[in-house]
Structure 1
């Protein structure tokens, strides 16, 4: 059996121009070296440059998956959004129904006065101020001063809040009533009672045209 050195010496002495005379092991070894060389060159020139492209494709795939998941959640929540929108529209419709028209405002102011009387309060001032226009409604502030006991004032505020039309009370100031002998045990409450009315299309048009000189 040949030693390893003898194999090396035999490989060195091979005639490159007469491959047919090579021993079988040398021929197989040469084919293996050539194959590995071709594979290495192919990997260097063709496979490695594709790695960056493959990484970009994987990143794009991840982004597309995220977008798809977001769209999927949006579609899943679409029915919930629609239900919420319908609820909001219904609530908005109910709110509009609580806003009186121009012709109903005097009746609402009368209801406030009736609530004051029913609460046992005396009226010192009830003075409507000019309307304040908003997008689809107008605010009608009313300066109001009433006098009476603590519990009567509480009943009045609760009664106004319970009216079928929307009335908000602000700028509240309460002070004790005094006479020559000192306190009388009654209170004076000044406030702004804001009523609201819906701007009908014809009414809004009339007011807008009325502002034009």
Structure 2
């Protein structure tokens, strides 16, 4: 019986010998073609992974936007209650009691930074702006920029929106990939801190 394995080995050896005997310029061209083929395959692979990651981030962003919009709805409800019946007055006053006083705002801002640093987030900037007085309460916007991984940022946003004895709305936020890092994200957003004014309990229908 003819040994087919020997025939296969002979063919492979013959092919390798032919490649080895090719002129240097031809071998160089083959090497360049092989290099570009590997680059194209690698680019296609990583592009597919990047697109999958981007889709996941967009879905999470939509989810977070839906979560934090609850604060905006609560604010609209408060405006409605401030203009209605005696029952609404009681509900409005009850809602205002959830707001910290002006003297407690400093501690609340410190709690926001502690919430992030405790979870390993790196703050790039933390800039409280001038408060805007409404009739019975004030709004203080705080521009925040930080860097962390996906799960750290999600926990931080949820924690800020649920800080005890406070009302903080998270809005105008963007999430992008951090520079020079494949695993970290950059988060920029405005946290609006609500607090009561001395006239808050003088509310009249």
What is the TM-score normalised by the length of structure 2? 0.52
2:136, 2:199 within 8 Å by CA — same for their partners in 1? Answer: no
Partner of 1:97: 97
Query: Residue 98 of structure 1 aligns to a residue in which SS?
Result: coil
Distance 2:91 2:163 in 1: 18
Say which of 169, 182, 185 aligns to 1:184: 182
Query: Residue 192 of structure 1 aligns to a residue in which SS?
Result: strand
Superposition map of 1:157-176 within 5 A:
157-164=157-164, 165-176=166-177
What is the TM-score normalised by the length of structure 1? 0.50
For the aligned residue pairs, the C-alpha RMSD in angstroms reads: 2.0
Partner of 2:198: 200
Cα displacement (A) at 1:115: 1.2
Equivalent pairs counted in the alignment come to 116
| Higher normalized contact order (CA 8 Å, seq sep 6+, divided by chain length) | 2
Q: Deviations over 1:75-104 (max 9, x none)?
A: xxxxxxxxx956534432231112111111
Query: Residue 185 of structure 1 aligns to a residue in which SS?
Result: coil
2:139, 2:195 within 8 Å by CA — same for their partners in 1? Answer: yes
Query: Residue 108 of structure 2 aligns to a residue in which SS?
Result: helix
Superposition map of 1:11-160 within 5 A:
88-160=88-160
- Unaligned 5+ segments in structure 2 are 1-83, 201-205
Q: Who wins on radius of gyration, i.e. which is larger?
A: 1
Cα displacement (A) at 1:166: 0.2
Query: Residue 178 of structure 1 aligns to a residue in which SS?
Result: coil
Q: Segments of 4+ in structure 1 off by > 2 A? A: 84-91
